[in-house]
Chains A and B, each alone.
Chain A
């Protein structure tokens, strides 16, 4: 095995972590859809932490090892159209994902405060766990990652 084979393997593992993280977050959103119960939200803290680790490893790993491969392999260049498209989509995904994460993190902190104060139900929490801006940003993140996957496999213009 050569170094490039290892870089490709780490790139693929990072991609699995990234899509895995989005799956984790999608399951959490579906399971907590319009929940009024703050303890249900706080029950998901360990899973949220795992999702955050996966999304960080996945995001950084895909771009670092992906660009490294594009530089290292003679068949591709960083300025190839499909590589540039992937980088642009990755930046977009990062920006959208950060906003999504910030919004849901604020909701989780609110749920933790409600649990501490002994509130068993909250209508505001239910509203925040529904079809909010954060939810649609998450949908956008998923769509962007699907586009990146299509770009990586079909390599338009390569």
Chain B
């Protein structure tokens, strides 16, 4: 029933929802690139190349995608729950993942940038592990957006 109610929504919600979903899914892809390239870079023939790609992907693709998905999320939240006194659980999960995810993302981005400059394997692995954690959290958040646990 929740899904049916959620799918019948005012037209004015469509564009913010489009921004939210497009931004989140592209962010998911950017995080996948960073996680896989950084965690697999030590076994690759050109590790420094992969590390540079990971950093640039986080900066050029991941950061703008995160901003778009977060703006879309806030926009549609204001429309749907602007006057509500209490948020449902699935909204709480979304906020936790996006807010803690933003902090982890910024740390991963900085570590990836430092790794490119200093050529330090520990920095590469740390950034890779952080992006892998964000990836798992994103899957949980997407599940919550669909299943909408109360």
Q: Does B associate with A? A: yes
By a CB distance below 8 angstroms, the chain A residues around B142 are 9, 12-13, 16
**Does A50 sit within 8 A of B, measured CB to CB?**
yes
**Does B81 sit within 8 A of A, measured CB to CB?**
no
- Interface of B (DSSP majority class): helix
By a CB distance below 8 angstroms, the chain A residues around B139 are 13, 16
By a CB distance below 8 angstroms, the chain B residues around A6 are 146-147
**Does A115 sit within 8 A of B, measured CB to CB?**
yes
Closest to A50 in B: B36
The total of Cβ contacts below 8 Å across the A-B interface reads 129
Contact across chains for A5 and B46 when beta carbons are under 8 A apart? no
The interface size of chain B toward A, counting residues with CB under 8 Å, comes to 44
Distance, CA A73 to CA B2, complexed state (A): 11
Given A27-B30, A27-B57, CB of A39 within 8 Å of CB of B25: no
Distance, CA A43 to CA B21, complexed state (A): 30
Contact across chains for B26 and A27 when beta carbons are under 8 A apart? no
Given contacts A12-B142, A17-B28, A20-B28, 19 further A-B pairs with CB under 8 A are: A5-B147, A9-B142, A10-B146, A15-B21, A16-B24, A18-B25, A20-B29, A23-B29, A24-B33, A27-B30, A39-B46, A40-B46, A46-B36, A46-B37, A47-B33, A50-B32, A69-B3, A149-B21, A150-B18
Q: Which 7 A-B pairs have the closest CB atoms?
A: A23-B29, A9-B146, A19-B25, A20-B29, A9-B147, A46-B40, A12-B146
A residues near B, CB below 8 A? 1-2, 4-6, 8-13, 15-24, 26-27, 31, 37, 39-40, 42-47, 50-51, 54, 69, 73-76, 115, 146, 149-150, 153-155
B residues near A, CB below 8 A? 1-4, 7-8, 11, 14, 17-18, 21-22, 24-26, 28-30, 32-33, 36-37, 40, 43-47, 49-50, 53, 56-57, 61, 138-139, 142-149
